[in-house]
Structures are given as structure tokens and as C-alpha cells.
Amino acid sequence: MTDSPKMGPGALAVRWGPRVRALAGSHPVAVDGGFAVLLFLIGAPHLIKDPPRHALLGWALQVALLVPLAWRRRAPFTAFTVVAGLAFVQWLGGVLLTVGDLAVLIALYSVAAHSTLRRLLVAAGVVELGVAMATDQWVPRVHLWKAFVLLSGMTTAAAVIGLNMRTRRAYLASLEDRAARLERERDQQAQIVAAEERARIARDVHDIVTHSLSVMVALTDGAAYTLPTAPERAADAVSKASEIGRQAIAEMQRVLEVLRQDAPAADRLRRPQPGLSQLDALLTEVRAAGLPVEFTVAGRPPAMASGAELTIYRLVQEALTNVRKHTPAGTTARVRLEYAAEQVDVEITDDGSAAALAQAGRPRAGHGIAGMRERVAVYGGRLRAGPLPDGGWRVHARFEPSQLEVSR
């Protein structure tokens, strides 16, 4: 069995320093009162061994000089004033008390550390006056200037140490305040990011579910209608509906993957989000569901971020879903993508009957339009959606190419 190594002063300071500072912060009067008692016990042997001419006055002054130090943090300038007044009484009585004189320096340090600069200058001036009076009364003439310089240096050191401690305390307080503000900002940013992620997931789920279910319903209704006369076409429609359902399940799994904290990044990389290259497949599904769609592209698309391509894809998907849901049979939709150096336009129109739409009592605006606005706003675009003068509906989004190229 080996003995544990002895702890040096530095190790003790590291171990007990924070505890003492915490105790002093919560109970300053008790800690400073204990420090004053310790100073009294240190000075008591000197009074016993070499008592002054007026022993009772010496003991009373030593106690009186140390008692105000218990309030040196709560009321530093008041404690200094009391100590300075008692030191003057000590000077008048001709009683030399080493520990009592030390109380003056401690009180000056407390003013420097816990009070204003103006009060520190006043206190330092009072102490310097006391140094001059003390050296004149108790120091021999031959050593007068040496003693004055030494005591003045001690006065300056007490004031400078107090100022340094106040500066250090202010610096630590600013660091703690900054850390607290950064923590609050981090929590707020995390809440904002979480809210944006929830909104994104809600938009994706809405787009996927609405589009896929509406196409599947259209295909199954067509299959039921053609089953007695054309079983082959009905079987093809059912097969297509099944394929779209599986695709919807895969897309839902991909969208909800972000909710799993243990989902590896490689899984997300193997399942990319849809983009412009999947528009043809999307239009094929819509046409198979019975909605004729004309698709035109003008210009050459710029190099877009994957999120920007997903935004355009979901915009077209949601707009066509709305056409299927809210227009009568025989409606034709048109999708136009126009790429230019100054702007990128995405337009989806239909020639549905405005009268039939009004008679159905189903407005075109809703969560789908709101979701499209949110998607477009993420990339600095503008969305307009509304009825056309001659009937039908128009959804138009305009982006700046530079915004689409930014990775978000």
C-alpha cells in the first residue's frame, strides 16, 4: 500500500480556490468575518509578548480595526472610513499595532476592488496622509524617507492589486454573460432549425401523399371502369397504381429518414431527392392518371443545387395535383420551364372551366399553395397563383439563377 503524495500550495489553491470563491460570493460577511478573526489571532501573540503602554487601548483598537473588515465587500468605502478613523485614534494614542495597520491596507484594497475609481482616489489620498503621519511619529529621522517610500509602495500595491482583481472579475463576468448569450442564441437557433425542418417535412409529406394518392385513385377508378370491357388496360392501370404506391412509400421513407437520429449518412446519399431529371417520370404518372400535360422547356438550365431542383419538382408536382383535384374532366395542363441569364420561370397553367370550379365550391388556395410559397421563398423567389381571365388557373414562380446555385 503506497501513501498518497502530499499536495503543495499550488495544488491546494486549485482544489480549494473555486470553493472558497463560491462560499465568499454566497456568504461574504461570514467569510470576511472569519478572515478578520484570523488576523486577530495572528496579532494577539504580539500584543501579549510586547504590550503597548496602554494595553487595554491596544486590545480594543485591534478588535475595532478588524471588525469593519467583515463588511469590506458589502460596504467597502464605509468599512474603509471606519478603519481610517480608528487608525487616526490609534495615531493620537501613540499605539503601534502591526496587524491593525494591515487592516488599513486591506480596507484600501477592498475599495479598489469593489468601489468606484473616485472613492479609490479619495481612500488612497487618506492612506498616504496616514503614512506621512505614521512615519513622522514612529520612524527615526535617519530612516524617515526609506520608511515613507516603503509604506507608500505598499499602499500603491494594495490599490493596484484591488484594481486588477476588479478588472479580472469584470472580465470573467463578461465572459460568463457572453457564454450565456451564446447558449441562448444556440438554443434559439436550434429551435428555428427544428421548426424549419418540421415545415420542410410537412411540405414533402403533403406533396408526396397528395400527388401519389390522387394518381392512384384516378388509376384505380379507371381500372374499375374499363375492367368489364378491357381487362388488359385495367390490369395495366392497377400495375401502374401499385408502382406509384411503392414509389410513394420509398419517398416517404426518404423524407422521414431525418427523424431517425441513428440514420447513417450513406443511406441518405444512396436515396437522393427527386430533381429536374425526374420531371418526365412525374408527367408520365400524371398522364397515366388521365390528365393531359404539355411540357415545354426554353433555354438551358443553370447548375442548380439539389434543393433548388427539388423545389421546382415539388412545385410542378403540387400544381398538377391541384389541377387533377379541382378541375373537370377534359382539362389540359401546361408546364413551361424557361431558363434565362436574368431569371428562371416555372409556370403551370390549365384550361379548366372557372364556372365548373365555382359550382364545385372547392377553392384552389390551401395548404398546397402555402407550401409552394414557402418552398419558393427559401430560394429568394416569388410565387403568384390565381385564376386566368378566360378560365383556368395559373401558378407562376420566378427565381434569380444566382439564388438557385447557392447550396442551402
pLDDT above 60 (res 6): no
Closest to 279 in 3D by CA, of 247, 240, 309, 241: 309
Query: Distance between CA 195 and CA 44 in Å, rounded?
Result: 69
Kindly indicate the confidence band of residue 322, based on its pLDDT and cuts at 50, 70 and 90.
confident
Does 82 fall in a domain? yes
Does 344 fall in a domain? yes
Q: What is the pLDDT of residue 259?
A: 58
Domain at 379, CATH number: 3.30.565.10
| pLDDT tens column, 269-301 | 445 678 888 899 889 888 887 889 999 999 888
Domain count, the chain: 2
Does 256 fall in a domain? no
343: containing domain? 275-408
pLDDT above 60 (res 359): no
For residue 44, which phi and psi values (nearest 5 degrees)?
-60, -45
Boundary (domain end) residue, out of 108, 138, 168: 138
Q: What is the dihedral of CA 313, 319, 321, 326, to 10 degrees?
A: 180
Q: What is the pLDDT of residue 265?
A: 47
Does 85 fall in a domain? yes
pLDDT above 70 (res 392): yes
Kindly indicate the confidence band of residue 218, based on its pLDDT and cuts at 50, 70 and 90.
confident
Query: Distance between CA 204 and CA 400 in Å, rounded?
Result: 23
Query: Distance between CA 20 and CA 17 in Å, rounded?
Result: 5
Per cent of the chain over pLDDT 70 is 78
Q: Where are the alpha helices (DSSP H) in 67-143?
A: 76-93, 98-114, 117-138
Boundary (domain end) residue, out of 112, 138, 164: 138
Does 197 fall in a domain? no
Which are the contacts of 243, defined by CB distance < 8 A and separation ≥ 6?
Answer: none
Question: Within 10 A of 140 (CB to CB), how many other CB atoms are there?
Answer: 8
Does 108 fall in a domain? yes
Boundary (domain end) residue, out of 102, 121, 138: 138
The grid cell for 25 is: 460570493
Contact call for residues 51 and 43 (beta carbons, < 8 A): no
| pLDDT tens column, 335-358 | 999 998 888 999 999 988 644 444
pLDDT above 60 (res 247): yes
- DSSP class of 276: G
| pLDDT tens column, 69-93 | 888 888 899 989 998 888 888 888 7
Query: Distance between CA 339 and CA 87 in Å, rounded?
Result: 89
Does 67 fall in a domain? yes
Does 332 fall in a domain? yes
In the chain, the largest separation of any two C-alpha atoms, in whole Å, equals 132
Mean pLDDT of the chain: 78
